[in-house]
Structure 1
Amino acid sequence: MTLARPVIWGHRGASFEAPENTLAAFRLAREQGADGVELDAQRCASGEIVVMHDESLGRTTGFAGLVTETAFSVIQTLDAGRGERVPLLSDVLEQVPIRINVELKCDRANDRGLTAEVVRLVREAGAQDRVLLSSFNPLCLLRARLFAPEIPRALLFESEQKWWLRSALAAPLLAVNSLHPEHVLATPDRIRRWRRRGYAVGCWTVDDPDLAAHLCESGVTSIITNRPALML
């Protein structure tokens, strides 16, 4: 039996080799043959949707401030590594013409309009057919379902979450298309069960080609990796 090649997502771009969540990382992932890029979307103090993983700007830019408390007029001046800037989601939608997995970064009940604004930007760019909306926060995915049922959604979960979250019990209510577990949760039995229930399954973060092959043999349909070149 020949296994179908999984979809390869560049985790924050080709982030092993380029500054994470920058246009340089996304372009490199595309050059390396990735099917798409995964990125993190947050709303900054002035309302724009910026691409940044951490709540704080410190780790990647050296600036002591929170994304939600810093205006884009400041964020756009920061060095995100090797002279790269923190991009707007709109820039990525315009300049990266492959699939984009947009993780909605919000750990609160009130997302400050994040989901609605991301949906607006995706529609404005005409990118509904190449965007996936993902989140650890079920409320963000519920909003995404209400605001944009045409855009596919994925539920993220990890081993450190409460049992009912890491068991993906909310998936049917959210009507997600995909489950994106931390790879340690993706046992062969669970993968088979999820696939029987109709979900695509994407695992993160997988940088070992042997682990990726094992997961794909068990039925995983996509791999989220910092090193897309190793997976192709």
Structure 2
Amino acid sequence: MKKLLKRMTILSIAALSLSFLFPTGAALAAQDNNYENTVTNIAHRGSSGHAPENTIAAYDLAFEQKADYIEIDVQMTEDGELVSIHDTTVDRTTDGTGSVGDFTLEELQNLDAGSWFDSSFAGEKIPTVEEILDRYRGKIGILVELKSPELYPGIEEKLADALIERNLDKPNNNKIIVQSFNHDSVKRFHNIIPSMPVGVLVGHGQADNGEITDEHLEQYAKYADYVNPNKSLLDQDTVDRIHHRALKTWPYTIVDEEWVDLLMDYGVDGIITDYPELMDFR
């Protein structure tokens, strides 16, 4: 009997040792889930699939859904205030008409930015960037997109001033990243606050026959930390070439599970989505 117990103990120890060397399917699945959870979840214009984009309602919901970042679009009013709105006109997302840059802040904030989405959001306002920074800094990351900055001379300096005033220009700055499709604007901002990570947005018009070339990446790597392209511009080779240059990639804009799975298979670093719950890993 003692010999049998001794033999069983030895076998149990051996089995335990093997389990460390050769994980079971369940253990491997757990490891995979741990890897997946390193992919950053960026709520595009807030949780914009469920609430009116670029409003406090959408940002609050993204926070409640445990997104890692909110993405905000930034433009400038006639009187030089920074506000969060995507289109260069207010027509689509408010009850007003006209170009964002032709409104004062007071005039913009008299508009209803929620009813277009659903009557339950009636009265939502266009928020200021300062309001967003004060409300969310240290609580959730903020991916700031400078929208059509060529329309707003000095917008990079205005944004830098707002960040510096709040001590958000330092390394480990509570997760603030600045990006734009206008790469000259990204360079200008980088020159103002070199310590802050910046990203280049890449659409089909900025690719070469649907490809982000090595030449593109070599240029981006001189000043940027992120290459954030339209999702359809990515494949395994492109993601590998981005990573080879020590850059990260957060593709946009994902609205279904199939794209989440595909992009995660490629090894992207983050996913910009209208539906943060898609990143509740299965």
| TM-score tier after normalising by the smaller chain length | over 0.9
* Counterpart among 130, 133, 149 of residue 93 in structure 1: 133
Normalized per residue, which structure has more strand?
Answer: 1
Distance, in Å, in 1 between the alignment partners of 2:180 and 2:58 is: 21
Q: Aligned in 2, Cα 1:165/1:188: closer, same or farther, shift over 3 Å?
A: closer
Q: Secondary structure of 1:60's partner?
A: coil
Q: Secondary structure of 2:130's partner?
A: helix
Distance, in Å, in 2 between the alignment partners of 1:44 and 1:64 is: 14
Residues 1:122 and 2:163 aligned together = yes
Q: Secondary structure of 2:241's partner?
A: helix
- Pairwise CA RMSD: 1.8
* Counterpart among 96, 102, 111 of residue 144 in structure 2: 102
Q: Secondary structure of 1:65's partner?
A: coil
Counterpart of 1:68 in structure 2 is: 101
Counterpart of 2:255 in structure 1 is: 207
Residue 162 of structure 1: how far off its partner (Å): 5.6
TM-score (norm 1): 0.94
TM-score (norm 2): 0.78
Query: Contact 1:43–1:112 (CA<8 Å) still a contact in 2?
Result: no
Q: Secondary structure of 2:41's partner?
A: strand
Distance, in Å, in 2 between the alignment partners of 1:17 and 1:166 is: 33
Residues 1:171 and 2:220 aligned together = yes
How many residue pairs align between the two structures? 230
Query: Contact 1:202–1:220 (CA<8 Å) still a contact in 2?
Result: yes
Query: Contact 1:158–1:166 (CA<8 Å) still a contact in 2?
Result: no
Distance, in Å, in 2 between the alignment partners of 1:166 and 1:112 is: 31
Residues 1:226 and 2:268 aligned together = no
Normalized per residue, which structure has more helix?
Answer: 2
Counterpart of 1:188 in structure 2 is: 236
Query: Contact 1:195–1:219 (CA<8 Å) still a contact in 2?
Result: no
| 1:138-177 paired onto structure 2 within 5 Å | 138-161=183-206, 163=208, 167=212, 169=216, 170-173=219-222, 175-177=223-225
Distance, in Å, in 2 between the alignment partners of 1:179 and 1:119 is: 21
Q: Secondary structure of 2:271's partner?
A: strand
The structure whose RCO (Cα within 8 Å, separation 6+) is larger is 1
Deviations 1:177-221 (A, max 9, x none): 011000000111101111111111101001112311221121100
- Give the gaps of 5 or more residues in structure 2: 1-30, 115-120
Distance, in Å, in 2 between the alignment partners of 1:149 and 1:17 is: 35
Write out the 4+ residue segments of structure 1 that deviate beyond 6 Å after TM superposition: none
What is the identity percentage for the equivalent residue pairs of Structure 1 and Structure 2?
Answer: 31
Q: Secondary structure of 2:97's partner?
A: coil
| 1:2-13 paired onto structure 2 within 5 Å | 2=32, 3-5=35-37, 6-13=39-46
